[in-house]
Chains A and B, each alone.
Chain A
Amino acid sequence: MNPQQEQQLEASVRRELDALGELTAPPALANRILQAVGQRAVVPWYRRAWPTWPLSLRLASLVGLLGASAGLGFGAWELANTLAGQDSVSRWLTDASALWRVLGVLGDIVRTSFSRLDSKILGAGFALMFATGVACVGLGSACVRLALRPALNRIES
């Protein structure tokens, strides 16, 4: 299609679309909206979105939130300082380093075992793991697809 034809296409489609005007909303929609508005109007302020709270409450909640954040930050800082000097914390750090050493030894054992295994056995093991993973993804996809079918029909209708 050359540029001239493209312009003609745009103009003719625009002519059709310009002639459309507004769609008419279903007659029941206005009542439905007014009902929803009425229900929302009787909801107490604390169950409404924050921007719709009265100004004084919004300011008070903001001050309260800032105070709580500052208090939490200060409390955490003080707690960390207090704990750092206690024996229980240093004991905990010693236990953690011992655990880390044990994990390191276990890692060495696994690495040594793998290095002594035949490469064919290793390959077969990895292939089996991969096949199991693929099977899980396939089954999961099929389940999700089945689960989504009703929603899909609703949207398409």
Chain B
Amino acid sequence: MTDAQQFETFLHNYQHMVFSTAMRLTANQSEAEDITQEVFLRAYERFAQLQHSPTVGGWLKTVATNLSLNHLARYRSRWTFFSEVFRNAENDSDEVADFPATDDTHQTLAATDRRALVEQALQSLPAPQRVPLVLHHFEELGYEEIAEKLGVSLGKVKTDIFRGREALRRKLHLKLKEEESG
């Protein structure tokens, strides 16, 4: 197998993982595609070392995460000043992933539909809630690591993750046991 073929196989094996990471962090498909492309261009430059490395998945995830966070930081500093007010107003709405809230919703929805709704609800969260939540659940980072990566306090990370979970619960009409019994 030639190097080009090996790289193509490598790309097909890992593209979904890299795209998922970028997509969940940026919540924007075209930006996630750009980031995925950049990750694989960097991987290509050091493919000789990477192709036999057992930690290649971790390397790709880390690069995708860092590029996504850099992108979010750059993008935020460019236009947050003028757009934050409008964005926050949009995000206050919980209608994005809403669906009929019957008791047996969980059972009646097909699994793929359910996943699509959860994905949509996740992507509709405002970035300050979505990013730490994604880093915690999907990248399995601890609160301290997230705070360090994002350059915010530990308390803010905990609060944002809690708010993110709470927003997801509202959007998906998840019920806690005590609410169910009450």
Contact = CB atoms under 8 A, between A and B. Distances in A.
A111 B172 CA distance: 70
B36 A33 contact: yes
Nearest to A38: B4
B168 A152 contact: no
Contact of A8 (B16, B41, B114, B176): B176
Nearest to B134: A17
B99 to A, nearest CB: 13
Interface of B: 7-8, 11-12, 15-20, 23-24, 28-29, 33, 36-37, 40-41, 44-45, 75, 78-79, 82-83, 87, 111, 114-115, 118-119, 122, 137-138, 162, 165-166, 168-169, 172, 174, 176-178
Given A5-B176, A17-B118, A23-B20, A29 B15 contact: yes
A2 to B, nearest CB: 9
A36 B20 contact: no
B176 A37 contact: no
Nearest to B161: A10
A26 B17 CA distance: 12
A52 B7 CA distance: 17
A33 B40 contact: yes
A145 B33 contact: no
Nearest to B87: A156
B165 A34 contact: no
A29 B169 contact: no
A151 B76 CA distance: 12
A144 B45 CA distance: 38
Given A9-B174, A13-B168, 9 more contacts: A9-B165, A12-B169, A19-B111, A20-B115, A25-B15, A25-B18, A33-B41, A37-B40, A152-B83
Interface in A1-33: 1, 4-6, 8-10, 12-14, 16-26, 29-30, 32-33
A85 interface: no
Contact of A144 (B82, B118, B168, B176): B82
Closest 3 CB pairs of A and B: A25-B19, A23-B20, A13-B165
B137 A30 contact: no
A49 interface: yes
Nearest to B37: A33
Contacts of B45: 49, 51-52
Contact of A23 (B114, B119, B162): B119
Contacts of B111: 19
Nearest to B137: A17
Nearest to B83: A152
Contacts of B83: 148, 152
